[in-house]
Amino acid sequence: MDSIAITGGATLNGSIPVSGAKNSALKLMAASILTDQPLLLTNMPRLADTKFLGRLLQELGVEVSERDGADGQETLFHAAQIRSTFAPYDLVRQMRASFNVLGPLLARTGEAKVSLPGGCTIGARPVDLHLQALTALGAEIELDEGYVTARAPKGLKGAEIEFPFVSVGATEHAMLAAVLAQGTTVLRKAAREPEIGDLARCLTAMGAKIEGIDTDVLTITGVTSLGGANWPVIADRIEMGSYAVAAAMAGGEVRLTKARPELMSALTDKMIEAGVEVIPTEDGVIVKRDPKQRLKAVNVTTEVYPGFATDLQAQFMALMTTAEGESVIHENIFENRFMHAPELARLGADIHVQAGEAVVKGVPVLHGAPVMATDLRASVSLVIAGLVAEGETTVGRVYHLDRGFERLEEKLGACGADIRRIKGESNEH
């Protein structure tokens, strides 16, 4: 199992290109099931998660071919024929987003059998809302021995669906199914994350009819078939935010390119409040901080978009560990999402967690130590803390990190970080 070693103390200076968004790419990949025409996704990240889903799509009959295009990495998906409508546990358990093949398979073929996803370390994250939405669209759903069997022999039918609370996954899944349903579907209390807008616009490019994009009410008029498209995956706002926090933590000046800073304004507002310079550029943003000046502690509360992203909470907590004063971090999206706190404490951070609140008292210095990643975003928070910790920090179980960050050591190393990967046994999980 690989680990990453960081020797703290180096400032970061240079440029980091931001990859395509993992959370968008995975749903765009699932959309390839909806058409027998080729779907070309450009600005594609190469991650463990996209590899897992690509393997599942191939099992279903989708041709998947990766290549380097004129504008970087791209992948061509072609589901000329669906050979199988069965998604087994061994493939779905590796990554929750694999469950989202259920709706597209059902919409295109009228049937699907998909394993329920495995447990999640950051909370329950049930799929009840996904199944309720598909049921509202006319699917017959059966749960048996850990599998969802869904049928719609006469096709899906448009419906009015109001989610009881905002759910990114359920919004995306309902949209993926509704684009081929007969009639009109209205999704109320829809999530508004940029990745949902990216999916909606790609589906529109494929011939879907979707109104209300970027609002909490989506109106989808079903069409009989979709065509192919060429679509650039939106910039990854979580990767962008993570590197912005890393630059703020270590000090120096880092230019983030191929970035969309307006997608992470809730984070940059808090960084500016803490004393970081954030300067927009034509294709991204510059993050500057004098390493001799301590940051000021600020409070954050995670919220659905456009609020402060739960996927940036761990990184911001790392930033606050050496800030002057006391910050309070409220986590409102997922339970169990403070598992990085005890690991940060191993580096000398002063963090007290109670229920959904963490109180971080800034300390003058962190000290390197062996720590363990518990989930994707927690893992990068430990790397960020390691950038300033005295001595060496070793982050174990970095297969979590590989799920969502492409060439992290290379990108940080190019800006001066003393960081290296220590190869271990196979890290496929």
Q: Which residues are annotated as a binding site?
A: 22-23, 96, 125-129, 311, 333
Catalytic, out of 55, 65, 66, 120? 120
Q: What are the Cα distances from residue 85, in Å, to 23, 63, 94, 282?
A: 23, 15, 18, 45
Place of tokens 């409508």: 85
d(CA 22, CA 44) in angstroms, rounded, equals 8
Helices (H), 187-312: 194-205, 237-250, 265-274
- Which residues does 145 contact at the CB level (< 8 Å), separation at least 6? none
Sign of the alpha-carbon torsion through 221, 227, 231, 237: positive
Cα 403 to chain centroid, rounded: 9
d(CA 429, CA 426) in angstroms, rounded, equals 9
Sort strands 350-354 and 357-361 into parallel, antiparallel or unpaired. antiparallel
| Token code pair at residue 298 | 């600020």
Cβ proximity of 21 and 195 under 8 Å: yes
| Token code pair at residue 99 | 């469950």
d(CA 297, CA 274) in angstroms, rounded, equals 6
Strand runs labelled E in 79-170: 86-87, 111-115, 140-144, 147-151, 160-162
What's the number of CA atoms in the CB half-sphere (13 Å) around residue 7?
3
Q: At 338, is the secondary structure helix, strand, or coil? A: coil
Place of tokens 């007290």: 352
| Token code pair at residue 315 | 């990184």
From the annotation, which residues make up the binding site for UDP-N-acetyl-alpha-D-glucosamine?
96, 125-129, 311, 333
Q: 329-344: buried (b, 16+ CB within 10 Å) or exposed (e) per residue?
A: bebebbeebbbbbebb
d(CA 167, CA 193) in angstroms, rounded, equals 10
Is residue 415 annotated as a catalytic residue, yes or no? no
Helices (H), 206-321: 237-250, 265-274, 313-320
Q: ω before 306 within 30° of 0 (cis)? A: yes
- Residues classed as catalytic: 120
